[in-house]
């Protein structure tokens, strides 16, 4: 999916009378099949940017085009676009609704119209990919999972949906080393299927393995954007935005 | 001192123990790191230390107070500060500064000292510029900083950090941990640091590795990581290169 944001303005907190401008005039193109990493200090707007690009929150101004569809102006076509997207949130349990892991998959597949015959296979492959292989996982309540396991489950959902665009918010936070490897192969699988992937993270090591381009957010907008290898090796640029050193893989 | 003896915890309806006989003694002012895979029992151990979870068997004793003694629990919880992975579980107030003041008010701290402590923690956590904002409007990382600031403000004797900096940039994480180390140095606070970052574990006096609810290694962090062959444990770069 091709993502084009034009002159996005976003003001947060208007409901509470404490409004704060997060983005003034942000324009951004993410090509179909691209993997874009978003980094920046806490509060720089990474989560907000993902929510805007994914159409979860409407911008206060400007336009978002997903595969050429103006999401604000064509509500009849926006629904179809939304059904081709996948999300993982910073707090993964916020996206769980069902009493068991299996039911969570079932309702997800139903909503997305995944053919009956494919469902079990997709679920099993996704749980394996996420390293959730302990027998009985399907019957567990997702709310009894540890934070790391919850994050793996959220990644499994996205993997099973095979979306055209995936928005992953801190996908490796709280994951152990094997979980981070699972996250990486899930992202690689998504990219191999032509999915556009946008990742907000502080995990530069992870980004250096999967991202083609990296964007640094700062208060109010984009501080830098470029090839992942160039941005992630730029010591002074990284240091200015809260990252004392480049990822190890780029140092060696 | 924290004394955990043969601690077994099984959640209702589960078919295995989340902790299956864990024993560990943590002397005052120690800095102990805990690493382990997802679901290995790290958070269960953390929550057992201040009596949020009670033992199915075995015991947890903090400064002579036992978590199963209902009359001691309030006192015990004052001594053990706890910062969760998910700040939503503990951030409740309408503004950032009220959140930091909340615990102090409950402790009956007088107004002048309360003001001073709140200002100190706002400065140390870097949250002074957002002191009047509603915590829910902060980013995930900022909420983690707030949760830590509010717990540190209460000057606990022992601090349990359950992957409490997982949403922070490496720079902020280092700054916050430096603040924790400073508090520890000044007040002799015990720190139990649950982490996925080998670099943080290396700064501890001692590293405990949990797997499937049991301690599988416990010792000097550099030595423990050097001999660690578990795929779920992130190693420092030099050791990772050897893997």
Domain boundaries, chain B: 2-242
Task: For residue A51, give its domain range.
Answer: 3-84+163-251
* Whether A179 and B88 lie within 8 Å, measured CB to CB: no
Contact call for residues B66 and B139 (beta carbons, < 8 A): no
Contacts of A92 in chain B (CB under 8 A): none
Chain A hits for B241, CB-CB cut-off 8 Å, are: 252
Which ranges in chain B belong to alpha helices (H)? 42-49, 73-79, 96-106, 111-125, 140-153, 170-187, 198-202, 221-227, 237-242
Looking at the fold, whether A80 and A100 belong to one and the same domain comes out as no
Same domain, A238 and A130: no
Question: Looking at residue B237, what is its pLDDT?
Answer: 75
- Contacts of residue B147 in chain A, CB cutoff 8 Å? none
Q: Does A128 touch chain B (CB under 8 A)?
A: no
Phi then psi dihedrals of residue B238, to 5 deg: -65, -45
Q: What is the dihedral of CA B226, B228, B229, B232, to 10 degrees?
A: -120
| Upper half-sphere CA count for residue B229 (Cβ side, 13 Å) | 0
Residue where a domain terminates, one of A134, A162, A190: A162
For residues B3-16, average pLDDT: 94
* pLDDT 10s digits, A206-232: 999 999 999 999 987 999 999 999 999
Q: How many C-beta atoms lie closer than 10 Å to residue A118's C-beta?
A: 12
Residue B56 in tokens: 């199915």
Mean pLDDT across B20-30: 97
Query: Tokens at residue B214, please?
Result: 């049991």
ipTM of the complex as predicted: 0.88
Q: How far is B213 from chain A (nearest CA, A)?
A: 13
- The per-residue pLDDT for B86 is 87
- Residue A201 and residue A186 share a domain: yes
> Is A80 a domain residue?
yes
Q: How many CA atoms lie within 13 A of A40 on its CB side?
A: 26
Q: Does residue A167 share a domain with residue A152?
A: no
A18: pLDDT strictly greater than 80: no
B141 touches chain A (CB under 8 A): yes
Question: What CATH number does residue A242 fall under?
Answer: 3.40.50.300
More confident residue, B69 or B86: B69
Cα–Cα distance for residue pair A242/A42, rounded to 1 Å: 9
Looking at the structure, tell me whether residues A199 and A137 fall in a common domain. Answer: no
* Cα-only R_g, chain B: 18
Predicted pLDDT at A184? 98
pTM greater than the 0.80 cutoff: yes
Query: Per-residue pLDDT for A252 more than 70?
Result: no
- Identify whether the C-beta of residue B26 lies closer than 8 Å to the C-beta of residue B190: yes
Tell me which chain A residues have a C-beta less than 8 angstroms from the C-beta of B43.
146-147
Domain shared by A170 and A233, yes or no:
yes
Cα–Cα distance between A191 and A33 in angstroms, integer?
6
Q: How far is the alpha carbon of A68 from chain B, nearest alpha carbon, in Å?
A: 30
Alpha-carbon distance of A24 to A5, in angstroms, equals 13
A89 located within any domain: no
The tally of domains found in chain A comes to: 2
Residue A149 covered by a domain: yes
Search chain B and give the residue with CA nearest A12: B137
Percent of chain B at pLDDT > 70 equals 98
Residue A90 lies in a domain: no
Q: Which residues of B touch A177 (CB under 8 A)?
A: 196, 231-235
Looking at A155-159, A178-182, B172-176, which range is the least confident one?
A: B172-176
Between chains, do A148 and B170 touch, taking CB under 8 Å as contact?
no
| B2-242 topology per CATH | Rossmann fold (3.40.50)
Using alpha carbons, list the distances in angstroms from residue A210 to A195, A204, A207, A216, B79. Answer: 13, 10, 5, 16, 44
Average pLDDT over residues B122-151: 92
Q: What's the length of chain A?
A: 252
Beta strands B158-162 and B80-83 are: parallel
Does the pLDDT of residue A16 top 80, yes or no? Answer: no
How many CA atoms lie less than 13 Å away from A28 in the CB half-sphere? Answer: 31
pLDDT above 90 as % of chain B: 84
Q: Average pLDDT of chain B?
A: 93
A181 and A112 in a single domain? The answer is no
Q: Which of A137, A162, A187 is the last residue of a domain?
A: A162
Residue A91 placed within a domain: no
Residues ≥6 apart with Cβ < 8 Å to A215: A28, A36, A37, A38, A39, A222, A224, A225
Residue A36 contacts residue A53 (beta carbons within 8 Å): no
Best residue of B39, B138, B148 to probe chain A, by most A CBs closer than 10 Å: B39
Choose the closest CB to B196 out of A43, A175, A242: A175
**Chain B residue closest in CA terms to A90:** B140
Q: Given CB atoms, is B15 within the 8 Å cutoff of chain A? A: yes
């Amino acid at each position: 999916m091709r993502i084009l944001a034009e002159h996005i303005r976003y003001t947060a907190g208007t409901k509470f009378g404490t409004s704060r401008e997060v983005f003034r005039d942000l324009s951004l193109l993410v090509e179909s099949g691209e993997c874009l990493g978003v980094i920046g200090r806490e509060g720089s707007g990474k989560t907000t940017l993902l929510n805007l690009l994914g159409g979860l929150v409407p911008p206060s101004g400007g336009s978002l085009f997903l595969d050429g569809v103006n999401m604000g102006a064509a509500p009849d076509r926006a629904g179809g676009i939304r059904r081709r997207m996948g999300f993982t949130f910073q707090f993964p349990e916020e996206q769980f609704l069902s009493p068991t892991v299996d039911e969570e998959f079932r309702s997800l597949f139903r909503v997305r119209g995944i053919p009956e015959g494919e469902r079990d296979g997709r679920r099993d492959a996704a749980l394996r990919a996420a390293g959730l292989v302990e027998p009985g996982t399907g019957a567990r309540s997702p709310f009894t999972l540890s934070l790391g396991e919850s994050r793996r489950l959220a990644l499994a959902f996205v993997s099973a949906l095979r979306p055209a665009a995936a928005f992953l918010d801190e996908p490796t936070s709280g994951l152990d080393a094997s979980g981070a490897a699972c996250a990486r192969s899930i992202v690689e699988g998504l990219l191999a299927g032509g999915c556009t992937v946008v990742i907000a993270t502080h995990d530069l090591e992870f980004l250096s393995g999967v991202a083609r381009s990296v964007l640094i957010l700062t208060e109010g907008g984009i501080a830098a954007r470029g090839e992942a290898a160039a941005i992630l090796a730029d010591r002074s640029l990284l240091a200015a935005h809260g990252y004392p050193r480049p990822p190890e893989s780029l140092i060696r | 001192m924290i004394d955990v003896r043969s601690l077994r915890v099984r959640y209702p309806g589960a078919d295995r123990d989340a902790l299956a006989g864990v024993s560990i003694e943590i002397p005052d002012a120690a800095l102990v790191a805990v690493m382990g895979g997802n679901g290995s029992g790290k958070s269960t151990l953390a929550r057992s230390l201040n009596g949020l979870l009670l033992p199915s068997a075995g015991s947890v004793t903090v400064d002579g107070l036992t978590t199963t003694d209902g009359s001691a629990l309030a006192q015990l919880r004052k001594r053990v500060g706890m910062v969760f992975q998910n700040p939503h579980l503990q951030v409740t107030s309408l503004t950032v500064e009220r959140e930091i003041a909340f615990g102090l008010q409950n402790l009956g701290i007088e107004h002048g000292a309360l003001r001073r402590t709140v200002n100190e923690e706002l400065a140390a956590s870097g949250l002074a510029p957002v002191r009047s904002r509603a915590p829910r409007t902060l980013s995930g990382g900022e909420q983690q900083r707030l949760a830590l600031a509010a717990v540190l403000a209460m000057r606990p004797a022992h601090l349990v950090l359950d992957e409490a900096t997982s949403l922070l940039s490496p720079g902020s994480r280092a700054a916050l941990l430096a603040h924790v180390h400073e508090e520890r140095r000044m007040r002799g606070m015990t720190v139990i640091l649950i982490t996925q970052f080998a670099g943080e574990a290396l700064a501890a006096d001692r590293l405990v590795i949990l797997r499937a609810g049991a301690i599988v290694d416990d010792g000097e962090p550099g030595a423990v990581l050097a001999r660690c062959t578990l795929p779920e444990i992130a190693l420092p770069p030099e050791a990772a290169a050897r893997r």
